């Protein structure tokens, strides 16, 4: 197989998006619009006529490739079976000038045993939605049921006309103040507006009787998944069960569909609703201090 490096400005947008769309392991993170939204600079490794692709995220640190914030996994998309041979070929094709490498392989890709890079198993929670709401509800843990009783007692109200700015602000208010938080605050808004423009996203929230937003989420749809982009909450959310009510509403409105609710998180909160963890792999040869998972564990 022929794999070549292509500079960002020379990437064929239509062929790239087509590969990601029809890839056996496609996801929302791989589309060019998403990558352009969150990555300052990236090139690509491309097999043949865009049969398989791998974004190379260039950083401000010389000789380092590192996946940017807000991309859980974007490592090798292919319309072919991603065999160990093809996976190895792509990883070996990473230019030798990059002495430090850190990124997550897409779900379903297991790094070859011969891989020179250290590999670490990561976890992401998912829940199949093909069952009825009543069947999904049977899998709730007692903690989820307790939360829903709190929400009922507090007379919480669903909200479905939230603007991206409002959801991003709730995220910023909840997260620790830092340059990374401020960067994500703006990036989240770009992602949400891009998704709304394409008809690939929707927002939901929960307010109290006074109209205070207690919990919110933005859902991205692609490849048979409804993925939670973010799930910020107000300090009062925990004692009112607002976040659990929000997830319950999502399950109620999406139940019976042949799709997956992707929690986009390793937080055990997802287990309250019967979600199960699914592994994917991070490969990195950075020091431990900078190789921990980047993405927010809400």
Domain ranges of the chain: 3-117, 125-278
How confident is the model at residue 287, as a pLDDT? 55
Question: What does the alpha-carbon distance between residue 105 and residue 78 come to, in Å, rounded to a whole number?
Answer: 12
How confident is the model at residue 298, as a pLDDT? 40
How confident is the model at residue 294, as a pLDDT? 30
How confident is the model at residue 179, as a pLDDT? 86
Whether residue 286 has pLDDT greater than 80: no
Question: What does the alpha-carbon distance between residue 43 and residue 58 come to, in Å, rounded to a whole number?
Answer: 7
Question: What does the alpha-carbon distance between residue 145 and residue 180 come to, in Å, rounded to a whole number?
Answer: 35
- The fold of 3-117 is Aminopeptidase (3.40.630)
- The fold of 125-278 is Aminopeptidase (3.40.630)
Give the pLDDT confidence of 88-111 residue by residue, as tens digits: 999 999 998 998 999 999 999 988
Strands 77-78 and 64-66: unpaired
How confident is the model at residue 241, as a pLDDT? 98
**Mean pLDDT of the region 54-80:** 93
Higher pLDDT, 180 or 116: 180
Higher pLDDT, 219 or 112: 219
Q: Which residues pair with 123 in a beta bridge?
A: 279
How confident is the model at residue 291, as a pLDDT? 37
Evaluate whether 56 touches 5 at the Cβ level (below 8 Å): yes
Whether residue 295 has pLDDT greater than 80: no
Structure-derived torsion over alpha carbons of residues 16, 21, 26, 30, reported in degrees to the nearest 10: 40
**Mean pLDDT of the region 257-266:** 97
| Structure tokens given for 267 | 């937080």
Helices (H), 60-178: 84-92, 133-137, 142-153, 164-174
Whether residue 293 has pLDDT greater than 60: no
Question: What does the alpha-carbon distance between residue 224 and residue 51 come to, in Å, rounded to a whole number?
Answer: 21
Same fold, 3-117 and 125-278: yes
**Mean pLDDT of the region 233-241:** 95
Question: What does the alpha-carbon distance between residue 144 and residue 85 come to, in Å, rounded to a whole number?
Answer: 44
**Mean pLDDT of the region 161-167:** 96
How confident is the model at residue 290, as a pLDDT? 40
How confident is the model at residue 288, as a pLDDT? 40
Q: Which band of pLDDT confidence, cut at 50, 70 and 90, is reported for residue 242?
A: very high
Helix or strand or coil: residue 116?
A: coil
Q: Which residues pair with 225 in a beta bridge?
A: 222, 260
DSSP annotation of 30 reads G
Question: What does the alpha-carbon distance between residue 26 and residue 87 come to, in Å, rounded to a whole number?
Answer: 15
CA dihedral over 111, 107, 21, 168, signed as positive or negative:
negative
Q: Which band of pLDDT confidence, cut at 50, 70 and 90, is reported for residue 30?
A: very high
Question: What does the alpha-carbon distance between residue 22 and residue 274 come to, in Å, rounded to a whole number?
Answer: 29
Mean pLDDT computed over every residue of the chain: 93
Evaluate whether 28 touches 34 at the Cβ level (below 8 Å): yes
């Amino acid at each position: 197989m022929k794999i070549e490096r292509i500079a960002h400005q020379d990437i064929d947008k239509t062929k790239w998006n087509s590969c990601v769309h029809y890839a056996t392991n496609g996801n929302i993170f791989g589309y060019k619009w998403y990558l352009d939204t969150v990555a300052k600079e990236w090139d690509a490794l491309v097999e043949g006529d865009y049969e398989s692709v791998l974004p190379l995220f260039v950083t401000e640190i010389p000789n380092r490739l590192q996946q940017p914030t807000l991309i859980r996994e974007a490592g090798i998309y292919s319309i072919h079976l991603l065999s160990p041979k093809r996976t190895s070929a792509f990883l070996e094709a990473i230019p030798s000038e990059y002495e430090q490498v850190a990124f997550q392989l897409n779900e379903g890709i297991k790094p070859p045993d011969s891989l020179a890079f250290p590999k670490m198993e990561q976890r992401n929670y998912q829940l199949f939605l093909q069952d009825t709401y009543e069947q999904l509800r049977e899998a709730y843990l007692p903690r989820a049921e307790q939360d829903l009783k709190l929400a009922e007692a507090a007379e919480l109200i669903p909200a479905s006309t939230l603007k991206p700015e409002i959801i991003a602000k709730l995220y910023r208010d909840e997260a620790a103040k830092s340059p990374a938080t401020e960067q994500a605050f703006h990036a989240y808004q770009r992602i949400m507006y891009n998704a709304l423009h394409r008809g690939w996203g929707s927002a939901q929230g929960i307010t109290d009787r006074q109209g205070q937003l207690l919990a919110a989420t933005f859902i991205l749809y692609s490849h048979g998944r409804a993925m939670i982009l973010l799930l910020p909450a107000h300090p009062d959310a925990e004692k009112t069960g607002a976040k659990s009510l929000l997830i319950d509403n999502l399950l109620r409105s999406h139940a019976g569909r042949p799709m997956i609710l992707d929690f986009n998180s390793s937080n055990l909160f997802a287990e309250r609703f019967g979600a199960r963890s699914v592994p994917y792999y991070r490969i990195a040869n950075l020091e431990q201090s900078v190789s921990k998972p980047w993405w927010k564990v809400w």
